[in-house]
Amino acid sequence: MSGLSAIGGTNGEAGGGSLRARARFDNRDAHPGDALGIDLGGTKTEAIVLAADGTVRDRWRVPSPTGDYDATVRLIRDLAADAAARFGAPGSVGVGIPGAVAPASGLVQNANSTWLNGRPFAVDLAAALGRPVALANDADCFALSEASDGAGAGAASVWGIILGTGVGSGIVVHGRLLGGPNAIAGEWGHTPLPWPADDERPGPACYCGKAGCVETFLSGPGLAADHRRATGADLSAAEIAAAASAGDAGARATLARHAERLARATACVVNVLDPEVIVLGGGLSNLAHLYDALPKLWPRWVFAPAVATRLAPPKHGDSSGVRGAAWLGRQARPHPEKSSR
Q: Which residues bind Zn ion (CB under 5 A)?
A: 190, 206, 208, 210, 213
When the beta carbons of 191 and 286 are compared against Zn ion, the nearer one is 191
Q: How many CB atoms lie within 10 A of CB 156?
A: 13
When the beta carbons of 163 and 213 are compared against Zn ion, the nearer one is 213
- Rounded least distance, CB 214 to Zn ion, Å: 8
Q: Is there a contact between 311 and 295 (Cβ–Cβ < 8 Å)? A: yes
When the beta carbons of 39 and 138 are compared against Zn ion, the nearer one is 138
- Rounded least distance, CB 190 to Zn ion, Å: 4
Least Cα distance to 166 among 121, 114, 208, 118 occurs for: 208
d(CA 90, CA 68): 27
When the beta carbons of 190 and 316 are compared against Zn ion, the nearer one is 190
When the beta carbons of 206 and 262 are compared against Zn ion, the nearer one is 206
Burial degree of 327 (CB within 10 A; 0-12, 13-18, 19+): buried
